[in-house]
Amino acid sequence: MISTVQVIGIGTGDPGLVTYEAAAALREVDVFLVADKGDAKADLVEARRALCEHFIGDSHPYRFIEVPDPKRGPDAERDSTAYGAGVRDWHAARVAAYAAIIDQLPEGSTVGFLVWGDPAFYDSTLRIVDALRETSGPFEVRVHPGISAPQLLAARHAIPLNRIGTSIHVTTGRRLVQEYSPDLGDVVVMLDGHLACRDLVDQHPDLTIYWGAYLGGPAEVLRSGRLAEVIDELVALRAELREQHGWVMDTYLLRP
Ligand SMILES: C[S@@+](CC[C@H](N)C(=O)[O-])C[C@H]1O[C@@H](n2cnc3c(N)ncnc32)[C@H](O)[C@@H]1O
């Protein structure tokens, strides 16, 4: 039975964005389990591998096991109930894939999960680790925070995420249009494959958008401006970037 699971927030791929605590945790791991999401996201697996080489080097022997990610259905075509059920099935398949590996590891091993950004933001690792406790536990769990995309977005634009004494609402592209109201305060949008904020332009043309893609990486791109004025450029730019890199991860802030 394994002894420990380290859940390590690694920022967005740049070693400069890894905390001292996270770097120390990397050096305690015997086996890293990394989801392999196919060719389009191979860059992200490589970024994780490079971080391990950078921080661990020869100081501690470790293995890096890529676990093929179970196929996930077409989220965009699902309503919220079907989406929730689809995600739950996908988690169950992921847990089974990880458990099959963990159960074969030497007694007392430390397993590491490298979480993009921070484990607290739209990441299923901690839910998966909880489920693994049931199938392959008991083991100790240690969580190390990382720099998340919203934090980097704010830093790169040199802005705070909130205005004085007001709220910050964090949501997904899927939920944005149905729940948007200026009363929410500043809204951070993640997991938006289609720039859903386009559908807010008619009613809220004066929103300011602060947008960033590939934050923290060599391909980082930033744009900001009045939503009604920049949205067409952003839609075209996002499509171009996706074409060029095979994937795009972007986050934005909408400020009334
Ligand atoms: C599954 S969530 C993971 C979030 C991550 N745990 C974090 O703390 O930022 C993926 C979403 O995070 C945002 N994201 C992650 N990496 C990013 C990056 N380098 N640049 C911009 N947005 C990013 C995007 O909104 C993307 O759709």
pTM: 0.91
CA angle, 95 then 96 then 97, to 5°: 90
The rounded Å distance from CA 67 to ligand 1 centre is 21
In ligand 1, the atom with minimum distance to the C-alpha of 150 is: 9
Residue 123 bridge partners (DSSP): none
> Same domain, yes or no, for 38 and 18?
yes
| Domain containing residue 82 | 4-144
Nearest to 29 by CA among 144, 127, 195: 144
**Alpha carbon of residue 181 to chain centroid:** 25
> Same domain, yes or no, for 140 and 153?
no
> Same domain, yes or no, for 251 and 156?
yes
Cα–Cα distance measured from residue 150 to residue 245, given in angstroms and rounded to the nearest whole number: 21
> Same domain, yes or no, for 123 and 234?
no
Tally of structural domains, the chain: 2
According to the model, what pLDDT value does residue 114 have? 96
According to the model, what pLDDT value does residue 129 have? 96
Q: At 179, which CATH number?
A: 3.30.950.10
Residue 68 bridge partners (DSSP): 36
In DSSP notation, 212-223 reads EESTTSTT-EEE
Nearest to 32 by CA among 3, 66, 70: 66
According to the model, what pLDDT value does residue 68 have? 85
The rounded Å distance from CA 97 to ligand 1 centre is 24
Task: Give the model confidence (pLDDT) of 83-121 as tens digits.
Answer: 777 778 888 899 999 999 999 999 999 999 999 999 999
Q: Among 69, 121, 210, 247, which residue has the most ligand 1 atoms within 8 Å of its CB, making it the best to mutate?
A: 121
Contacts of 141 (CB under 8 A, 6+ apart): 4, 5, 7, 129, 133
Query: Do residues 141 and 125 lie in contact, with contact meaning Cβ atoms separated by under 8 Å?
Result: no
According to the model, what pLDDT value does residue 42 have? 72
List pocket residues of ligand 1, CB cut-off 6 Å: 12, 116-118, 121-123, 148-149, 190-191, 212-217, 249-251
Q: Which two tokens stand for residue 107?
A: 């007694």
According to the model, what pLDDT value does residue 192 have? 97
> Same domain, yes or no, for 37 and 131?
yes
Cα–Cα distance measured from residue 152 to residue 159, given in angstroms and rounded to the nearest whole number: 10
Where the chain has pLDDT below 50, the residues are: none
